[in-house]
Amino acid sequence: MGAVFFDLDGTLLDTVPDIRAALNLALAECGGEPVSYEQTVAYVGNGARKLVERAAPHADHGRLLELFAKYYNASENELTRPYAGMRELLEKLRARGVKLAVVTNKLQISTERLMARFYPGIFDFIGGDDGSFPCKPDPSLTRYAALSLRVPLRQSIFVGDGETDVATALNADMVPISVLWGYRRREVLEAAGAKRFARNPQELGELLEKLL
């Protein structure tokens, strides 16, 4: 049996409100203009560096990234919420003996804090951006996770809400499933090559039941 790999932002957790709050604090300190919720949704998905580059193309990105990381990591994540039904689905998968992994472009320290708060004891592998691997859609971290879990990539599934997740799955020779409760529209996911979709965690569970 393979494993199920999950993206984080827009898949397991609605994190944009806290990301936006930290980003706007960083932008204000650098003299930049604040970003809206809709802009933040458009900017997320490719890691913190890409986030700040998109938010302020002409800023000192090194300084802005440092400030964003400081504010976000100091946050209590009071605005972040798990998607309804996700924990129940994850617990059912664990009960079946399915290995579970998180592979995200979010900073590693933030990823570990969020998983400890919202999904403690659920995941067998938690991988974020600590500088060791390129960000998704590069498949290196996904492949490393599969090696760590001793699961075959071709029998594993990558679940995410973004086009980056579809590309990651295809680059790693995995099956992608795109969720429609996150930050990207179906037509964007279809253009990236997505063919399987879930409108809610119950539908995701039904798809996984057929594929695993």
Could you please state the CATH topology (level 3) that the domain comprising 3-14+80-211 is classified under: Rossmann fold (3.40.50)
User: 2: pLDDT confidence band, cut at 50, 70 and 90?
Assistant: confident
φ, ψ at 15 (rounded to 5°): -105, -10
* 1: pLDDT strictly greater than 90: no
* 104: pLDDT strictly greater than 80: yes
Spatial CA neighbour of 198 closest among 212, 175, 178:
178
d(CA 172, CA 147): 12
Where, residue-wise, is CATH 3.40.50.1000 in the chain?
3-14+80-211
Determine whether 7 is an active site residue. Answer: yes
Please pick, among 7, 129, 161, 165, the residue that the annotation labels catalytic.
Answer: 7
Each residue's pLDDT tens digit, 179-204: 999 999 999 999 999 999 999 999 99
* 206: pLDDT strictly greater than 90: yes
Q: What is the mean pLDDT of the chain?
A: 96
16-74 to CATH, choices 1.20.1270, 1.20.120, 1.10.150, 1.20.950? 1.10.150
User: 162: pLDDT confidence band, cut at 50, 70 and 90?
Assistant: very high
Where, residue-wise, is CATH 1.10.150 in the chain?
16-74
What pLDDT sits at residue 161?
A: 98
* 18: pLDDT strictly greater than 80: yes
